[in-house]
Structure 1
Amino acid sequence: MMNQEMTKRDNYFIPMLVMALIFFMMGYITWTNGPLIPYLKIVCNLETDVQAFFVTSAFYFAYFFMALPSAMVLKKLGFKNGMIAGLIVIIVGSLLFIPAANSRTYGLFLTALFIQGTGLALLQTAVNPYISILGPIESAASRISLVGIANKSAGIVAPLLVGGIILKGAGGLEKELASITNSAARNEILSEMASRVQLPYILLAAVVFIVAIIIFFSKLPEIKAEEDADEHQNKKRSIFSFPSLILGVLALVFYVGAEVIAGDGIGQYGKNIGISLDEAKHFTSYTMAAMLFGYLIGIIAIPKYLTQEQALKYSAVIGIIFCLVAIFTTGYTSIIFIALLGLANALMWPTIFPLAISGLGGFTKVGAAMLIMAIGPGGGLVPLLYASLGGETNPQRGFWVIIVCYLFILYYAIAGHKKKSW
């Protein structure tokens, strides 16, 4: 028995290593959006926070529109080739930042982000169910937490690296731009600032290409027996006959919204309460560091000390408490507790996803695609609601939106995931 367990772990090692590499890449791309929000607000002369948060809308709505097509692509290509296809799409989106920067066209930047999001939608639709069914479903959260360390490590690095390049001296530049009346001089400064984004995305495209080559030559097993085995049993049922899945989709909408606000929005929030962009540009990394710590807790605690359901319940409660502290405090204390929302958010995706796809049988890939679709309205609409409710006029008021998100997640942890019929 012990030899069999060791063999299984050996069989998991290479696939998990490849998944960790992909998750690192996805995290790096995703969490560059944080510094892009204040950056593009300056470079593209945007007037409001709501306009600036279209960065998250363009990026995350790609998941909504492309997740189901991604499921069809995976059925034809399989997990491995589907991952490679997703990486190629990301390369295209990354290179589109070159003409976007040259023209300083906000719509072109948003198009590039949408294309990147399309590639990530394909990757997410492949890697999350792959990891969930790579081993026992009851320990799926632990495996997702393990690769999540790679994801959130990239989330720490990306804002520091990309933000350090594109927002270098941004505080001083804002003051200089405010004092310049000559449009030619102003455009010259903005064009120089816009050009900064090109090199990071050219290098990103090169690295993604290398990752695609590594995956091409890696030996990833196709995992389909479990879902195919139940296909006959479930062939007469609709995907909407699984309440635990549908409620799980809604839970992920609210989770993604909370994560994006705490991660991508914290820098703009810092700026809104009077902290210089030279400092606020690093705040996303603080949130990611808190998430990284949360993943470590998940790896140690699930399922040995905590069930997936308990981890989700406690995470939601902690999130509500941290939000209330962030709302009713000021300055750096508020910033600290917004960053600590990363700790509350860390185990939500790793627990909601396997709880929602458990028992889907032949509907697993479609169910996974629907869960990935939740990233769209979660990252695309919830932050806009936050920005419109809070924004520059009353920054802290927007965090009531996250409390509503956590309340629904708490319901899903306690009762929603157990529903077998409507």
Structure 2
Amino acid sequence: MGRIWLPLVLIVSLFFLWGGANNLNDVLIAQFKKAFVLNDFEAGLVQSAFYLGYFLIAMPAGIYMRRFGYKSAVIFGLTLYGIGALLFWPAAERATYGMFLFALFVIASGLAFLETSANPFVTLLGPPETATRRLNLAQAFNPLGSIAGILIGQHFIFSGVEHTPEQLAAMSEAQRTAYYVSETHAVQWPYLVIGIVVLGWALLILATRFPRLITAHTATASAAMNGGVMGKLLRDKSFIGALLSQFFYVGAQVGVWSYTIRYVQATMHGTPAKLAANFLTAELVCFMIGRFAGTALMKYVAPVRLLFVFAAINVVLTLYAVMHPGSSGANALVACSFFMSVMYPTIFALGVEGRSDDERKLGSGLLVMTIIGGAVLTAIMGAVSDHSSMSDAMIVPTCSFAIIALFAWRRRSARSAI
């Protein structure tokens, strides 16, 4: 065990690192909207660029991992993550929004490698009988990283300086330019430090001797890619339901978190972004608490039943945020995060439940790709906000949670009929 604990700590830490990167995007949406004078749709492209990276790189990351191994995939992913973070410095110097989006795409590409490799890697670093416990421990660090990301953004990126359109109009051209430049440059040092830390972590993993892992992964990988397995999965209505539910879940989660700061500012007028970020931090704390509470509840309530109840509650909470904009609506969104906590792993588990090894591997890859929902639904929410209001945009996650509830209800009914 002494030879395993250091590699295990290094890999578990990755869950913290990508949690921070994911939720720093929620800060960047508000920051770039201010620095580049963007509408909500344009600001939402932060998440579109990010999750497009996940979608496009997930399968190549799996192929790379099968060819070169888990450790190599982790190092390559950290390298991409670090390079993407370092690209924020020249992007800020050039004050080019498109370059920031490219940097986020590079970061997301690195995270796709990390998520594809780290989850199975953790299960292999130790005795098989404690694999589930190790993975649950590793996943617990993800919301901690998310909270750290929000706090970094709140205290090191947000300046607390908010100008109304009237105040900006009253400024001289030079004053407005100086303001926009200062807000753009605010991201440089935090991301420079992140980039250095991540690349340093890659070197540390490179220098660490990992135990030899003996698995059947390589031997069965090619079989998992044949058309027969793919065709069987895509003809399975239950699996398609899981894919759709995961797509809408990721879109709802990313959408709610991405626009919480904007929702607070739009419905609680005069609230600066730095203060509005407290609501986002509260959401992540609720998410973390919900993860542990939901796991405990599953000892007494079937996971599919709990998924249905939590999804139905979130339909009500997000609909309330639509109909009652303001502090009570914002608090409803905070509560929503508690009930989102168990959805991703529960839908994922239902999607691969009872399948052969080949189906499980290919099915897992397809389920990871549904993370593109974070790009699609966030952009739709931005478009709804631009044409109506930010509170009305919350109808998108309302519909998403309704689809998840329908999936859970059908799975529950199917089980009852057996």
Global fold match (TM > 0.5)? yes
Corresponding residue for residue 89 of structure 1: 80
State the superposition RMSD in angstroms. 3.2
**Aligned pairs for 1:127-138 within 5 A:** 127-130=118-121
CA distance in 1, matches of 2:156, 2:318: 31
* 1:398 and 2:393 correspond: yes
CA distance in 1, matches of 2:288, 2:17: 15
Is contact 2:81–2:108 with CA below 8 Å preserved after alignment?
A: yes
Corresponding residue for residue 31 of structure 1: 23
Corresponding residue for residue 115 of structure 1: 106
Q: What is the aligned length?
A: 407
Corresponding residue for residue 345 of structure 2: 350
CA distance in 1, matches of 2:226, 2:325: 55
* 1:213 and 2:207 correspond: no
Is contact 2:66–2:217 with CA below 8 Å preserved after alignment?
A: no
Corresponding residue for residue 191 of structure 1: 181
Identical aligned pairs, as a percentage? 27
Is contact 1:313–1:410 with CA below 8 Å preserved after alignment?
A: yes
Is contact 2:55–2:369 with CA below 8 Å preserved after alignment?
A: yes
Letter in 2 for 1:316: A
Is contact 2:305–2:412 with CA below 8 Å preserved after alignment?
A: no
Partner deviation per Cα, 1:6-57 (whole Å, 9 max, x = no partner): x9xx9997676444311100100010011101111121222x1111110110
Corresponding residue for residue 61 of structure 2: 70
Is contact 1:240–1:246 with CA below 8 Å preserved after alignment?
A: no
**Cα pair distance change 1:403/1:133, threshold 3 Å:** farther
CA distance in 2, matches of 1:105, 1:285: 28
- Return the offset for 1:219: 2.9
CA distance in 2, matches of 1:314, 1:143: 28
- Return the offset for 1:68: 1.3
- Return the offset for 1:223: 6.8
**Cα pair distance change 1:29/1:85, threshold 3 Å:** same
SS at match of 1:237: helix
Corresponding residue for residue 374 of structure 1: 370
1:257 to 239, 248, 251: 251
**Aligned pairs for 1:156-235 within 5 A:** 156-172=147-163, 176-180=167-171, 182-216=172-206, 217=208, 219=210, 222=213, 224-225=215-216
1:334 to 320, 329, 335: 329
Bigger Cα displacement from structure 2, 96-105 vs 310-319: 310-319
**Aligned pairs for 1:229-308 within 5 A:** 237-242=228-233, 243=236, 244-273=238-267, 274=269, 275-302=271-298, 304-308=299-303
CA distance in 2, matches of 1:96, 1:299: 39
- Return the offset for 1:136: 8.3
Bigger Cα displacement from structure 2, 220-229 vs 209-218: 220-229
Letter in 1 for 2:319: L
**Cα pair distance change 1:323/1:236, threshold 3 Å:** closer
| TM-score normalized by the length of structure 2 | 0.87
CA distance in 2, matches of 1:22, 1:405: 29
2:138 to 140, 147, 163: 147
**Cα pair distance change 1:232/1:83, threshold 3 Å:** closer
| TM-score normalized by the length of structure 1 | 0.86
- Return the offset for 1:161: 1.6
Unaligned runs of 5+ in 2: none
CA distance in 1, matches of 2:315, 2:4: 36
1:408 to 384, 400, 403: 403
- Return the offset for 1:362: 2.2
Unaligned runs of 5+ in 1: 1-6
Partner deviation per Cα, 1:245-290 (whole Å, 9 max, x = no partner): 4332221110111111221210011111123223113322111111
